Structure formats: C-alpha cells, structure tokens
Amino acid sequence: MSELILVIEDEPTLRDVLSYNLRKEGYRVEVAADGAEGLEKARRLRPDLIVLDVMLPQMDGFELARRLRPEITAPILMLTARTDEVDRVVGLEVGADDYILKPFSMRELQARIKAHLRRLQMLQASAASTGSLPREFVFGNLVIGVERREVLLNGQPLHLKPKEYDLLLFFARHPRRILSRDYILEQVWGWQYFGDSRTVDVHVRWLREKIEPDPSHPVRIVTVRGGGYRFEG
C-alpha cells in the first residue's frame, strides 16, 4: 500500500493543489482544514508523513506539532510564509523535521517528501536487520542503546527528541571524524535538495546541553573551525 500523507492546511485552493498533486504522485492523501481536525486525524490515521501549515485556525501549526511530536514518529514538514519563523519551526518546542517556505514549487515539496519517506524506509530496513550496527555504543558514562533508541548518561536515561537521537547515533558511528554540516544534514536529515546548516547547529547545541559536562566548553561534540563537527566520544 502506498504511503499516507496528511495535509493540514486551511486555505482551500492550496489544500486542493497539494492533495491533487500528491495523489498524482501515487500517495494516499487525507486533508484537514484546521488544527483541531488535524490533531484528530493525525492521531487516528497514523499518517506516514504530515504536511503542516503554520497559520491555521483553532490551533496553529506550532501548537499542533508540539502536541503531536511526542506521540508520533512520522516526519512533520511545515509550511511557513516567514523566514523569522524558521528557528521556531525546527526549534525544540515545536520539533518539526523540516520546513518549506511559501511560496514553493510542487516539485520542491515532492522532492522533500520523497527524501523523508526514503530515509524512513532506510531506517526501518536497518532496524529490521541490525546486523550492521552494534547493539550499543559506550563512550565513558554515555551509553547509546541502538535497539531501544535509548541513551543513558551516568546510568540515567536522557530524553532525546528523535532527531537528537539520530544525530547522536550518527556521531557515534563516525567518531573522531570531521563531519561537515552539509554531510550531517544529508545523512541525518536526508536533505539532498536543500540544505540549511542552522538545523545542524541548533541540534548540536541541544545535544551538548544534554551530554556535555559543560555545554559552553564542549569536549564531546567539538566544533572544527571551517570544517564542521567532530565527535570525540
């Protein structure tokens, strides 16, 4: 069965254009016209990916994403009309996986959706055949449990958001290597088509706050001037 995409957008014309084009691409599409309906459908239908507009009646996209994020693993791709919303969109309180600025082309949106869904399939495939990954990584007092996606610091579980975990696991698999922001973006977020390295920086900052003894003087995730980041373990 093809993947199910939930489109939450209050503007009827854009909603129709989106669902028409996504169906043409072979996806199953459900739509919601406001935040409350979006929340209800996301919970009930368990879509594979959610396209979520920021400005919505009833409950805006920020609030909706914030409520949904802990409940679902589906990628949330937010539509925003303002660049100054971007930090909030990918921010800790909202936790969208990606955003696209209005106005956008259908081709761009479809490319982004395809990249997210492909990445999801790869994750599921690698979870199914864990042969290539060790069951856990141990870096001193930091333990990353791969099967349960669990991270322990000094024996205490850390609450990491899905992308923080993905990023940490990626670092763990490439210790002491200089990793450029673009490479990290491509490997962890799967954005072959569009890169915004601020996303990487923001997530590195959050990870540091959780795993560094002193986040203002990081020793585990080190910034390499002009290069990117290096995970020291």
Residues in contact with Ca ion by CB under 5 A are: 10, 53, 55
Q: Exposure string (b/e) for 109-120, b if CB count within 10 Å is 16 or more?
A: bbebbbbbbebb
- Residue 23 CB, shortest distance to Ca ion, in Å, is 21
Q: Which is nearer to Ca ion, 46 or 102 (CB)?
A: 102
> Kind and range of the H or E element at 26?
none
Closer to Ca ion at the Cβ: 63 or 136? Answer: 63
14: nearest Cα among 107, 102, 74? 102
Least distance (Å) from Ca ion to the CB of residue 93?
Answer: 20
DSSP 105: -
- Burial class of residue 186 in the structure, from the number of CB atoms within 10 Å of its CB (0-12 exposed, 13-18 middle, 19+ buried): middle
- The answer to whether 63 and 38 have CB atoms below 8 angstroms apart is no
> Rounded to whole angstroms, how far apart are CA atoms 27 and 50?
12
We find the least distance from the C-beta atom of residue 53 to Ca ion, in angstroms, to be 4
Query: Dihedral (C-alpha) 5, 38, 194, 204: value to the nearest 10 degrees?
Result: -120
As measured in angstroms, the least distance from the Cβ of 56 to Ca ion is: 6
Residue 65: phi, psi to the nearest 5?
Answer: -65, -40
User: Could you tell me which residues come within 8 angstroms of residue 127 by beta carbon, excluding any fewer than 6 positions away?
Assistant: none
> Do the Cβ atoms of 188 and 146 come closer than 8 Å?
no
Find the residue with minimal CB distance to Ca ion: 55
CB of 11 to Ca ion, least distance (A): 5
Q: How far is the CB of 155 from Ca ion (least distance, A)?
A: 46
